[in-house]
Amino acid sequence: MTENLTDDQAWEEMTSATEERAAAKAAAERAERLGVISGGSLSKGLDVKLDRDTDIEKLAVGRYVVAHGRRARFFCMITDIALDSTNPLIAKQPPDMSDPLLAEIHRGTTTFGAVHLSPLLLMEESSDEVKPIKTVPEHFTPVATASQAEVSQVFGEEGAQKVGGKAIHNFHIGAPLDMENVKVTLNLERLVERSSGVFGKSGTGKTFLSRLLLAGVIRDSVAVNLIFDMHNEYGWAGTSEELGGQVKGLKQIFPGKVSIFTLDDESSRRRGSNPDYVVNIGYDQIVPEDLEMLTGILNLSEPQIGAMYALHRNFKEQWLNNLLNEEWIKAQRGTNPDTQKEITGLRAVAEETGQPLNVLAALQRRFERMRNYSFLKPKVLDNSVDRIMRYLDAGTNIVLEFGRYGNDLGAYIFVANFLTRRIHERYVEKKELSFGREGQEPRHLVITIEEAHKFLDPAVAKNTIFGAIARELRKYNVTLFIVDQRPSGIDSEVMSQIGTRVTMLLDNPEDIKAVLSGVSGGDALREVLARLDTKEQALILGHAVPMPVVVQTRRYDPDFYRAMGLRSAEELGARLDENRAAMRPPKDFAGFD
């Protein structure tokens, strides 16, 4: 048969490359095709009648699908899955489905699957932009599972991109539900541009996800980080419940970009984290404002707070040193104005500062506890804040390990507050200098705190530095990254300033309400939130994503380390050998003539 064809005929018989490509595309579309639009509305969502070949048992809500309309594609999400029939009677008189012929005839004709879609965005054929949706596709528009390209068009292509002359970095954060192999990205610049938060009940994977996100920020140098690592999980060897083992900390992944500071040298060394610097704070560096935040924890009364300020006024930076120094107190002398008798000790101090004796005595007792903090010293030679600023200025990220003090909320709050206040001050200074072109703008700083509600609860948020940072947005190039399991404990005004909210499972209605406050479509999202897995699934909403999205979070594992650029010793060795082999002349090389 073929032999008889002339060349021309043979040429005609051959499929052209374009045809082949079109055929391949059509085949791919057919493979991913789920069904056709059968009705619906913009406000209530679209109905899809599933094709016979679509296996309803393999679908899941949350999957992204695209309706391929004539002029545009409609990006939608499956929100419900249903069984339908052309005639409701069939449900009452079920055919004999044990017969293969009958079963095959009925499946997909009289009885079929249906899904409900919520239309999300419009993708016009002519441009790469996505637009808000304002209409619906026609009847019987084919609907297919969204491809990676379509998901990328919505969320942004993974990696560095130039958009309007500005560099942006899209970070792969996980996969849409039911679409394991598709990557959802989040815009890191926008993540740090305003304060962000990761929420979820205990054990849902907040810390893992935060470390993942921070790794992205560090790798792409989107901002410099200061992480208050309460439980020693970020810097070096976090523990994984599930693997029963350890995972790498940020310094292990980015040895050149992350430094570990510690409050508890002994604990850090015991865990092998080899801190770069031990943070010490001198009593003389502490001002009453630093302790005011601890009112709740130290159980300070109003008069006691007043007394702190009075002491500070009188003794300047020596106030705390003096108060805690038995010798010094014993040596104090004064006179009682009523009796003109000489008085000594605390009584004399009380007289001098005009504070009641019992208040001072109580204050002294409250502060006793600080003696247990080995990082507090009467006097220190080095200024920790200077040191931290130097590192941050150089673009080095800092993880501050708390060691054993992580279990002491007082220590955690005190230190985080102490350092943040001062660093923020420096940032304000620098930023203001940069306005007058007298200095460079400081690098964008992201401060990570766990147990954030302790810093941001309504009682204290108004007058603490963290509340101020959250409220002033990015004015001074400092934003917060808060990790918390009780978002309802966070001041609502602060919460409203959290640009990007990543929330994992929450079951307390108050908490759910708090994270969804001020979010449009909150009711539908509440439903979504309540249905998240107990682990490693997150709803991301806000500034860093174009629309709310539920993801199966990316694994924090050796593959991730590699993606972040970490190479194992063996690999580096192999690479070295390769290079050596390439440079060495072949065995039979006899030299150049």
Positions touching another protein (CB under 8 A) are 86-87, 89-90, 93, 95-96, 99, 101-102, 104-106, 108-110
Residue list 188-207, contact with Mg ion (CB under 5 A): 207
What count of other Cβ atoms lies within 10 Å of the Cβ of residue 363? Answer: 22
Q: How far is the CB of 233 from Mg ion (least distance, A)?
A: 7
3-state secondary structure of 51: coil
Name the residue nearer to Mg ion (CB basis): 207 or 304.
Answer: 207
Please tell me the distance from the alpha carbon of residue 345 to that of residue 352, in angstroms, as a whole number.
11
Q: Is 6 exposed, middle or buried (0-12, 13-18, 19+ CB in 10 A)?
A: exposed
Q: How far is the CB of 39 from another protein (least distance, A)?
A: 17
Q: How far is the CB of 138 from another protein (least distance, A)?
A: 21
* Among 207-215, 337-345, 385-393, 518-526, the segment contacting ligand ATP (CB under 6 A): 207-215
* Among 106-114, 202-210, 400-408, 575-583, the segment contacting ligand ATP (CB under 6 A): 202-210
> Rule CB under 6 A: is residue 202 a binding residue for ligand ATP?
yes
Please tell me the distance from the alpha carbon of residue 218 to that of residue 221, in angstroms, as a whole number.
5
Q: Binds 576, which of another protein, Mg ion, ligand ATP, none (CB < 5 to 8 A, cut-off by type)?
A: none
Side chain identity at 352, as an amino acid letter? E
Q: Binds 205, which of ligand ATP, another protein, Mg ion, none (CB < 5 to 8 A, cut-off by type)?
A: ligand ATP
Q: How far is the CB of 207 from Mg ion (least distance, A)?
A: 3
Q: How far is the CB of 98 from another protein (least distance, A)?
A: 12
> Rule CB under 6 A: is residue 484 a binding residue for ligand ATP?
no
What's the gap between Cα 413 and its chain centre? Answer: 21
Name the residue nearer to ligand ATP (CB basis): 389 or 504.
Answer: 504
DSSP string, 235-272: SS-EE-TTTSSEE--HHHH-TTTEEEEES-HHHHHHTT
Q: Binds 89, which of ligand ATP, another protein, Mg ion, none (CB < 5 to 8 A, cut-off by type)?
A: another protein
Instruction: Please identify which residue in 73, 116, 206, 453 interacts with ligand ATP, judged by CB under 6 A.
Output: 206
Side chain identity at 540, as an amino acid letter? I
- Under a CB-based contact definition with an 8 Å cutoff, are residues 416 and 481 in contact? no
Q: Binds 242, which of Mg ion, ligand ATP, another protein, none (CB < 5 to 8 A, cut-off by type)?
A: ligand ATP
Name the residue nearer to another protein (CB basis): 104 or 342.
Answer: 104
Q: Which residue number places its CB atom closest to Mg ion?
A: 207
- Under a CB-based contact definition with an 8 Å cutoff, are residues 564 and 215 in contact? yes
- Counts of helices then strands in the chain (DSSP H, E): 25, 26
Name the residue nearer to another protein (CB basis): 88 or 245.
Answer: 88
Q: Which residue number places its CB atom closest to ligand ATP?
A: 205
Q: Which residues contact 77 (CB under 8 A, 6 or more apart)?
A: 62, 63, 64, 65, 117, 118, 120
> Token digits for 234?
């970020």
> Rule CB under 6 A: is residue 535 a binding residue for ligand ATP?
yes
* Among 102-110, 196-204, 345-353, 494-502, the segment contacting ligand ATP (CB under 6 A): 196-204
Q: Kindly determine how many residues on this chain lie close enough to bind ligand ATP according to the rule CB under 6 A.
A: 20
Name the residue nearer to another protein (CB basis): 103 or 530.
Answer: 103
DSSP string, 298-345: II--HHHHHHHHHHHHHHGGGHHHHHT-HHHHHT-EEE-TTT--EEEH
Please tell me the distance from the alpha carbon of residue 434 to that of residue 326, in angstroms, as a whole number.
47
What's the gap between Cα 114 and its chain centre? Answer: 36
Q: How far is the CB of 92 from another protein (least distance, A)?
A: 9
Residue list 358-417, contact with Mg ion (CB under 5 A): none
Please tell me the distance from the alpha carbon of residue 215 to that of residue 169, in angstroms, as a whole number.
13
Residue numbers at the binding site for Mg ion (CB under 5 A):
207
